Structure 1
Amino acid sequence: MQGSSRAAAAASRDAFTGALAAGADRSRLAGELLAVVAVLDGNATLRRAVADASREGADKAALAERLFGGKVSAEALAVLKGVFGQRWSSERDLSDTIESYAVESVIASAEEGDRADTVEDQLFRFERIVAADAGLRAALTDESVPADKRSALVDSLLTGKVADETLLLVRQAVTAPRGRRFDHTIGHFLDIASTRRDQQTATVTSAVPLSDEERDRLAAGLSSIYGGKVHVNTVVDPRVLGGVKVEIGDELIDGTVIRKLDGARRAMGA
C-alpha cells in the first residue's frame, strides 16, 4: 500500500476493532464483509465511487449507508462506513482492507472457541496437500468451473473434518481468489492470523513427524530466541534424513543431515 492507503487502513481499523469490542457476531461480520468485497469486485463503477479520492469522506460514508443500510448488521455497516470514508490510493487497497477485516473476524471467532491454533494448522496442512496433488489443485482452482461446484468440492473434502472457520476460509480462497494463486491466498490469510495474534510463524521440516511435546518444546525455544510467541507449522520430508530445518521470516536454520552431507561433499571436492 502507498502512504495514503496505509493511513486509511490505520484510520478505518478503529471502526473494525470497535465492532468487535461491541460484541459483533464474528462469523456473521466476516460473511457480510466478504459479501461486500464480492460486490465491489464485480462492479467497477461502484469501486471507483467508493475509492474516489476527490469525494469527501462523509459523502462516501453516506454512500455506504445508502447501499448497505438494512442489508447488513449495524456492526458491519459501521466498518464499511469507516473504510469508505477514508482516502485510498487505489480501489484494490480499499477492497483488500475489507477482506482482511473479514479474515480477521474469522480468526477472532476461532479465538472465542480456543480454535485459532487449530485453524492455522489446518489451513497450512490443507495448502500443502493441495500443493502436492496437481489434480486436486486443478480441480479447486480452475476458474472455468462454476464457483458453486468448486465450493461443493471443498465441502465434500473438509466438512466434518476441520473447524468451521477453516472451512469458511478455504471455501473463500477457492471461490474468490481475487487474482491470486491458491497457495498465496492461504498464505495471506495465515499472515493476517499471525498479525492479529501478535506472533511469528515458523515452518519446521523434519524426516519424521514431531510429537506434540517436541513441537511445543521447539516453539518455546524459538519464542525465547525471537522474543515473542511463535506458532510452529510442521512438514514431513523423508529426504532430509534427520534433524530439522526451521524457516521463520527471512531466516533459515538448517540442521538436517542432508545439509551436513552436502557440506561434507563440497568440502571433499574443494
Structure 2
Amino acid sequence: MLGTSKTSLAKAREALTARVNASNADDVADALLSVTEVIATSAALRGALGDSGAVRGSRAALVGSVFADRVDATALEVVRDVVERRWSTGRDMVDAIESLGFEAALIGAEARGVLDTVEDELFRVDRVVAGDQRLRLVLTDPAVPDTTKGDIFADLLGGKADPTTITLVRYAVTHPRGRKLEDVLAALVTESARRHERLLARVTVADQLTEDQHRRLAAALSRVYGRDVDLQVDVDPSVVGGVVVRVGDEVIDGSVRHRVDQIRRRLGVA
C-alpha cells in the first residue's frame, strides 16, 4: 500500500490495538477474516463500502446492516472504522481488513506468550511450500477440498503447531484471493515481525549459519536500520558464498553468484 492507504492502515491498526485484548483477540481475528472473504467476493458490496463520495456514516451503516448478526460487536467496530477511512482502491480496503485480522490473531498469540513460536512455525511452512512445487500446486488447486488441504499442512506441522499458526495457515491456503500462496505466507511472517516492532530480514546463504554468524549478522543489520532485526534464513547452494539480504523491498546482494554475474556483464559474457 502507498500514500493514503498506507496512512489509513496505520491509523486503523492503532484503533484495533485499543479495542483488542487477550480475551477477545481470537474471536475478532476470526470475524475479520470472515468479513474479508465476504467483501472480497462481492463486487457490489466492495464498491459500496469503498465509495469515498458516499455520505459520511453511510458506509458504517451498511456494515452494520450486512454484518451485525454475523460478527461480534468489537469486530463490527473495527470494520466500521476501516470503511470510514480513505483508501486508494477497494482492494486496499479489503487488504486492510485482512491485515487487521492477522494482527488480531497475533495479538492473541502475543498475550499467550507464543508469538515467537508462531512466527517460527509460519516461516517453516513458508519455506516448505516455496521449496516444493508439487505441494504448492496441490494447496492452490481449487478442485482439492479444503479439508484435504488442511490435513496436508497439519502433517507439515507435525500436529504440534500452535492453534494461531493453524488458523492463519488454513486461511492462507483456502483464501488466496488471486495471490500466490507463498506471498500470503510471507506476509504473515512479516506481520508477526512487525507486531513486536522488529524488521524482518530474509537471508539467503549457501550453507547454514552458525549461532555466532547469525547473531553477528543480526547485530550488523540492527545497526544499519536502527531497529531490532529478525533473521529468517534460507539455504540455497546456488549463491555459492556470501549472503543475500532482503528487508522489505530492499535487497543487499553480497553473494559470490552476484559478483560473478557482474563480472560477466562487464565482459559481455553470457
Tell me the TM-score normalized by structure 1.
0.83
Corresponding position: 1:43 with 2:64: no
Match of 2:112 in 1: 113
Match of 2:154 in 1: 155
Please list every run of 5 or more consecutive structure 2 residues that lacks an aligned counterpart in the other structure: none
Contact 1:51 1:91 in 2 (8 A): yes
Match of 1:15 in 2: 15
Tell me the amino acid that sits aligned with residue 9 of structure 2. A
Contact 1:15 1:78 in 2 (8 A): no
| In 2, Cα distance between equivalents of 1:240 and 1:25 | 45
Match of 1:170 in 2: 169
Shift of 1:77: 1.5
User: What SS does the corresponding residue of 2:57 show, helix, strand or coil?
Assistant: helix
* Cα 1:227–1:218 shift into 2, 3 Å: same
| In 2, Cα distance between equivalents of 1:115 and 1:139 | 29
Which residues of 2 match residues 191-230 of structure 1 at below 5 A? 191-230=190-229
Contact 1:207 1:242 in 2 (8 A): yes
| In 1, Cα distance between equivalents of 2:157 and 2:29 | 20
* Cα 1:206–1:14 shift into 2, 3 Å: closer
Match of 1:31 in 2: 30
Q: Considering only aligned residues, what root-mean-square deviation do their CA atoms show, in Å?
A: 3.0
Tell me the TM-score normalized by structure 2.
0.83
| Percent identity for Structure 1 against Structure 2 | 38
| In 1, Cα distance between equivalents of 2:27 and 2:138 | 28
User: What SS does the corresponding residue of 1:228 show, helix, strand or coil?
Assistant: coil
| In 2, Cα distance between equivalents of 1:130 and 1:10 | 30
Could you give the per-residue CA deviations for residues 172-217 of structure 1, whole angstroms, max 9, x where no partner exists?
1110001101122122223333333332222223333224443233
| In 1, Cα distance between equivalents of 2:42 and 2:233 | 41
Shift of 1:222: 1.8
Match of 1:94 in 2: 93
| In 2, Cα distance between equivalents of 1:153 and 1:235 | 22
Could you give the per-residue CA deviations for residues 26-72 of structure 1, whole angstroms, max 9, x where no partner exists?
22211110011111122233222222223223122122223322432
| In 2, Cα distance between equivalents of 1:267 and 1:23 | 57
Contact 1:30 1:102 in 2 (8 A): yes
| In 1, Cα distance between equivalents of 2:132 and 2:152 | 15
Shift of 1:81: 1.5
* Cα 1:252–1:60 shift into 2, 3 Å: same
Number of corresponding residues: 268
Please list every run of 5 or more consecutive structure 1 residues that lacks an aligned counterpart in the other structure: none
Shift of 1:219: 1.2
* Cα 1:140–1:254 shift into 2, 3 Å: same
Structure 1 stretches of 4+ with a deviation exceeding 6 A read 260-270
* Cα 1:228–1:36 shift into 2, 3 Å: same
* Cα 1:50–1:261 shift into 2, 3 Å: closer
